[in-house]
Chains A and B, each alone.
Chain A
Amino acid sequence: MLILTRKVNERVIIGDEIEVSIVEIRGDQVKLGIAAPRTVKVFRHEVYVAIQEENRLAADSTPSAPLPSIPRLVPQKNTEPDS
């Protein structure tokens, strides 16, 4: 892993299109500014972890028995069919 030391307002360039700047340092918190193309996903690591965990929970929870019925969500006979 590349480890760089930076001061406030200094930047790091990743590839041709991604720029990370140190906006503010306060105590143990660092505020980063990230400029990247719209096509690049930038999220907090916790978000990935939360989605991974929820996926695992969902996969483990799927019953092989009938799924619960939610009467108000079950399409009624007279409603329009799905397009």
Chain B
Amino acid sequence: MNMTMQEIEIESKPFGTITVPEQQIINFPLGLYGFEPYHEYALIDSRQPPFYWLQSVTECHIAFVVINPYLIWPDYVLDIPEGDLIRIEQPLSDDLLVFSIVTIPDDEARISCNLQGPLIMNRHRRLGVQSISMDTRWKTKHFIMDAMNTQG
């Protein structure tokens, strides 16, 4: 075990008290839209890949399910303001982490992803921002099941 690796203990919505390596803590200096006061999130495995959880470090009840949108929409294009990339100190590259927030209604056939407000993260600096797509094709609700069926 690497002795220099710091772990922090957090209260998570899905798993109760867990310890998370510091490398998985991402700072969103502006928060997420509608959740501006909350800046620190842990990116954790969901145990149901390919979903992940983005769990607020300070507020147990604030947690989002996120997914790599390219797994479902291979044609997704990240067309976002340059200012957001400057904010996380990383240019557009394969190294950039991109996630979509997932909404899971009672009717699970209508699970959707928000492709209009992607989360982008610099894994090295552990900085993230919720961006806004400038390409108006991408909306706040894209249904996963529809995409799966379309792709046959």
A residues in contact (CB < 8 Å) with B: 38-41, 43, 47-48, 50-59, 61-64, 66-70, 72-75
List residues 50-96 of chain B with CB under 8 A from any CB of chain A.
50-51, 53, 61-65, 71-72, 81-84, 86
How many inter-chain residue pairs (CB < 8 Å) link A and B?
Answer: 102
B interface residues with partner A (beta carbon < 8 Å): 13-14, 32-35, 46-51, 53, 61-65, 71-72, 81-84, 86, 101-105, 108, 111, 114, 116-117, 130, 132, 140-141, 144, 148
Q: Can you list 28 A-B pairs with a CB-CB distance of less than 8 A?
A: A39-B82, A41-B81, A51-B117, A51-B132, A51-B140, A52-B33, A54-B101, A54-B103, A54-B114, A54-B117, A55-B35, A55-B130, A56-B34, A58-B65, A58-B101, A58-B104, A59-B62, A62-B13, A62-B64, A62-B104, A64-B13, A67-B65, A68-B111, A70-B144, A73-B49, A73-B71, A74-B49, A75-B50
